[in-house]
Amino acid sequence: MGRTQKLWQGRFAETPDEDAVAFETSIFVDRRLALDDIAGSIAHVEMLGNTGVIPEGDGARIIEALGAIRDDLESGALQVDGTSEDIHSFIENELTARIGDAGKKLHTGRSRNDQIALDERLYLRRTIPALQGKIITLMETLTAIAGNHRFTLMPGYTHLQRAQPVTLAHHLCAWAEMLRRDWERLGDARSRMNLSPLGSGALAASSLPLDREETARRLGFGGVTANSLDAVADRDYCIETLSALALTMTHLSRFCEEVVLWSTEEFGFIALSERWSTGSSIMPQKKNPDFAELIRGRTGRVYGSLVALLTVMKGLPLSYNRDMQEDKQSLFDACDIVSDCLTVFAAMIGSAAWRVDRMRAACSGGFGNATDLAEYLVRRGMPFREAHGVAAGIVRLCIEKNCPIEDLPLGDLRAASPLIEGDVYDKLRPESCVEARDLPGGPAPRRTEEHIAALRDFCARSRQGGS
């Protein structure tokens, strides 16, 4: 039986135009849900047989055939038929072609509405841990680099102006903290979606004696959805996942912006591997950070996927509407992009060389130790606002004399405040400025070492299934 006849038989006397069929078909998008659809179908049929809704013998034949279809899809012996309307229809038609009328009992007590809600949850339940694993890989890469650069000085910036000295390790650990929260957000999204919608039917459940809890247990869910309308009518679990992915891309894009800046001659903090750089079609000297730029650019596509699904859902009445078919392309595209970007960024940053000499030299300009001078005066009893003014005046003097604070004669410093003594010069060294910032979360090497250890412990526990 052809697709057109199959889909439109019964209620309709006319068959649809071929353009109409092509327009509403989703098989080329949802085909990646094939194994999830089979897993859900097997659990459903096992429950139907156990509850006596269908004969156990038919149930056993269906389960055996579904397993064979799964195996054939995995081996490549069976290809998804692009003329099917969607993945559900393809599998059910293939099942019926193999075992005859018994296959028609598969859809008992089920609608494609609760079926697709189930398939998407199963897909995300296995996809999210894979994405989380890639986040952990990147965190491990960053902490490995940080462990080698606990004493590597570099300027910290605000407004892209040199602000205070920090270390490369401290900076990379800031990246890792953002990624940790990304990992946690994805885990939160996964935990909230871990309820089975199967048995909700089209919108109002079923009059058949289905055991929803059994199918939920078989599929590893924490329970069942509480309302059949809600179960088939919302895609907040997709939106929440997309939101978490958009934030992950925000962070990757910011990291890439710094990589692009740091790789310029003006900064010269990082030298990307030639494996992760490209040349120019006209300028033979160029070494472009194209992979960082592409990650930065693809962030817009993930944002677009989030906005697209929010827009699809914002005006829909309960329950299911066909608009919701448009959710999968956005979801799949975002998952694919984030997966690729995490892989590429980890390889790119892990193979880069760090120009510690350029970073250290950059700490000598921009008066990054001015705050330390003000705090030096505070420790000698001067109110901070007054100390801030004294330090600002010294900075103005340095600008006039075209020298850093540490090169001013002690007499000039004491003219600004008699509280300043000769020991101030040691306090103004970039190394001293960093070491003095020994509060929890600060850049002092001791604190950074603690932070790296904590991040490594988080990564190890995450690998073992903890958090």
Give the pair of three-digit tokens for residue 439. Answer: 């509060």
- The answer to whether residues 229 and 318 touch, using CB atoms and an 8 Å cutoff, is yes
Strand partners, 354: 270
Residues 6+ apart with CB under 8 A from 394: 370, 373, 405, 408, 412, 413, 416
CA 416 – CA 235 distance, rounded (Å): 64
User: Cα torsion at 164, 151, 134, 174 (round to 10°)?
Assistant: -20
CA 4 – CA 12 distance, rounded (Å): 11
- The answer to whether residues 165 and 369 touch, using CB atoms and an 8 Å cutoff, is yes
Which one of the listed residues 191, 280, 351, 467 is annotated catalytic? Answer: 280
Helix (H, G, I), strand (E, B) or coil at 51: coil
Q: Is the peptide bond before 339 cis (omega within 30 degrees of 0)?
A: no
Active site residue 88: no
Residues 6+ apart with CB under 8 A from 52: 209
Q: Quickly list DSSP for 263-306.
A: TSTTT--EE--GGG-B--SS-TT--B-HHHHHHHHHHHHHHHHH
Active site residue 280: yes
Which one of the listed residues 41, 88, 159, 253 is annotated catalytic? Answer: 159
Q: How many CB atoms lie under 10 A from the CB of residue 20?
A: 12
Report the catalytic residues. Answer: 159, 280
